[in-house]
Amino acid sequence: MKIVLPGSTIGVLGSGQLGRMFAIAARRMGYRVHTYSPDRDSPTGQVADVEIDAPYEDLDRVRDFASAVDVVTFEFENVPAATAETAAQYALVRPAGDVLHTTQHRLREKTFLRQHGFPVTNFEAIRTSEDLLRTVPGFGPAILKTAGFGYDGKGQYRVSSPADAQAAWQKMAHQEAVLESVVDFEAELSVVGVRGQNGDCAFYAPSANEHVGGILDISASPSPFTKEVAETAIEITRGLLEQLNVTGVLCVEFFLTRDHRLLVNELAPRPHNSGHLTIDACITSQFEQQLRAVCGLPLGSTEMLRPAAMANLLGDVWAAGEPNWAAALALPDVKLHLYGKTEPRPGRKMGHLTATAATPEAAAALVRTARSHLLS
Ligand code: AMP
């Protein structure tokens, strides 16, 4: 058990918005932050003490980075295994690299879930053309997803015939893939959980999530599902934190089927977009929890002070010029978070808005109104 006290230095692999919000939480509690990624003037680098821009494959630079910090964590799970292993030779790495190894690859992740008895969407591994020809007929409506390096619906194709599937696989340059049944879900939800160094766990109330084009659009919490659904989702998350032996934050994304079963869709061993509302709505944010967990400190309360909803701001919001920030902020219960990215490309996560209100439905309506005001 190693406790990393305020005043120490945390290393963050990755430099996007998750690292930025983590760094803000860490600096508020008196820690220093070093970030490592191939980018310069990154969302995390802008608020960190030190920004190292070097390839993940440059293991000499990774060694120097890890040697200068007290604990290393991630904000990005597609860090190569060799990078995590090298960092672990010079610093404590939390969560451990094998958690990353399982969750950064859809096939490994889904196989882990199935082998450990967690409810998961029906799937098959696709490694050869023969696998596709054998599996697609009789499989029903399906989605073909790349096994590695996919997120936010990238590298995913709906397929209904062997010809479709071959064309989709061609677009993926014949990379290893997962063929997954399309779930006719009633809703999507997620649970952010955290596990401390001593095995203590804490959970946020599930969020109800709406995606557009495979990207999260709106999260609202507490979710409108039954107590039983919420409790089951939390117990599955607890089981996963324990089975994966996570020290840190884990987000579990679920489908709720029309017959009220929960299926695990995806795991993220880090703070998650659907947990951003915890910054403005909960006693302890998901980023502060990650900090407390990786530093071996007691976890904070996950209690929600007020129902909340979050709306993502993608680059598309800039299509007609600078958004009207003042119009959104004229609603006093709305908070603006921008990630310091200069190029607002379509589909790129640039920031988010959070609204709090008396009910999650009212918060969702308010955050949508605020976002529409940006275009006024
Ligand atoms: P993913 O990147 O796998 O989390 O997928 C992004 C989004 O695409 C999900 O949140 C769903 O909205 C949708 N999606 C992914 N897989 C499936 C599936 N098997 N059935 C139905 N919708 C899916």
CB of 288 closer than 6 A to ligand 1?
A: no
Please state the rounded mean pLDDT for residues 295-303.
98
Nearest CA to ligand 1 atom 14: 214
CATH number at residue 149: 3.30.1490.20
The average confidence (pLDDT) of the chain is 96
The SS3 assignment for 207 reads strand
Ligand 1 atom index nearest CA of 154: 2
CATH number at residue 211: 3.30.470.20
CA angle 359, 217, 80 (to 5 degrees): 125
Ligand 1 atom index nearest CA of 145: 3
Pocket of ligand 1, candidates 123, 215, 265: which has the most ligand atoms within 8 Å of its Cβ, to mutate? 265
Residues 334 and 367: their CA atoms lie apart, in Å, by 7
Positive/negative CA dihedral, 176, 179, 182, 185: negative
The answer on 256 and 159 residing in a single domain is: no
Contact (CB, 8 A) for 294 and 10: yes
Could you tell me if residue 217 is inside a domain? yes
The answer on 142 and 238 residing in a single domain is: no
Residue ending a domain, among 165, 181, 197, is 181
Residue ending a domain, among 155, 181, 207, is 181
CB of 148 closer than 6 A to ligand 1?
A: no
Q: pTM of the predicted model, to two decimals?
A: 0.96
The answer on 306 and 250 residing in a single domain is: yes
- Residue 150 pLDDT class (50, 70, 90 cuts): low
CATH number at residue 27: 3.40.50.20
CA of 265 to the centre of ligand 1 (A): 7
Q: Could you check whether the bond before residue 95 is cis, i.e. omega within 30 degrees of 0?
A: yes
CA of 266 to the centre of ligand 1 (A): 9
Q: Which residue range(s) make up the domain with 161?
A: 122-181
Please state the rounded mean pLDDT for residues 221-235.
96
CB of 188 closer than 6 A to ligand 1?
A: yes
The answer on 172 and 190 residing in a single domain is: no
Please state the rounded mean pLDDT for residues 318-337.
97
Residue 151 reports pLDDT greater than 60: no
Domain count of the chain? Answer: 3
Contact (CB, 8 A) for 95 and 269: yes
DSSP state of 346: T
The answer on 315 and 277 residing in a single domain is: yes
CB of 77 closer than 6 A to ligand 1?
A: no
Between these two residues, 375 and 171, which has the higher pLDDT value?
Answer: 375
Instruction: Give the pLDDT of residue 245.
Output: 97
Instruction: Give the pLDDT of residue 371.
Output: 98
Residue 325 reports pLDDT greater than 70: yes
Predicted confidence (pLDDT) per residue in 172-216, tens digit: 888 999 999 999 999 999 999 999 999 999 999 999 999 999 999
Name 170's Cβ contacts closer than 8 Å, sequence gap at least 6. Answer: none
* Residue linked to tokens 């040697």: 67
Out of 80-84, 162-166, 348-352, least confident range: 162-166
Nearest to 207 by CA among 197, 196, 217, 195: 217
Contact (CB, 8 A) for 280 and 335: yes
